[in-house]
Amino acid sequence: MKTQHIEPFFATLKAANPQPNTELEYTSVFELLAAVLLSAQATDVGVNKATRRLFPIANTPQKILDLGLAGLEAHIKTIGLYKSKAKHLMQTCEILVSEHGGVVPRTREALQALPGVGRKTANVVLNVAFGEPTMAVDTHIFRMGNRTGLAPGKTPYDVEMGLLQRIPPAYLVDAHHWLILHGRYVCQARKPLCWQCAVAAYCDFKPKTSSPA
């Protein structure tokens, strides 16, 4: 993607969705952290279905611990890999209670020290909860960075660094959401919907056809 196309690319996405947000449902920083931890290799829809059962009963680290591992598993068993996720969430809650007074920390280092919390999850929490201009590269953003030519890279970290360098500061805080939502609903993996894409004019990808088959 040419440098002169980046600003109109994001201006167009902003015009269509001025205040983007995550599709995960949460009402506190801890609920967000728990939802993102549970969302690995799962859909936001599936996670929301589970957390609607879990959060009314246990929505703090101590309440999760009070549920016990079996109780937590019972509430999230509809999510893929629920046993390992339940174990990580329990361990995370133990650390939050013992080392952070039950409060989610605001630094990347402390977040990534929590079991099951990698760089992507930490970036989501830093961005969504604390408004930091981070870039959580999931499968959608990785695809968008490469397909559009905005930030090509062989690894999620490469794409993350490329996006942070190329996205204008005015768009950086919300760029994570714009790219995820565009990748989820328009720039889809198997068959991108280029004929209905508002930013196709700025994208390096050239579809074989301009309309659906």
The amino acid present at 121, given as its one-letter code, is T
Tokens found for residue 1: 């993607």
The catalytically annotated residue of 138, 154, 158, 208 is: 138
Residue 204 annotated as catalytic: no
> From CA 135, how far away is CA 171, in angstroms rounded?
12
Q: What angle do CA 208, 145, 125 make, to 5 degrees?
A: 140
> From CA 31, how far away is CA 19, in angstroms rounded?
21
Residue 166 · residue 151 · CB < 8 Å: yes
The catalytically annotated residue of 49, 83, 85, 120 is: 120
> From CA 46, how far away is CA 43, in angstroms rounded?
5
Residue 191 annotated as catalytic: no
| Residues carrying an active site annotation | 120, 138
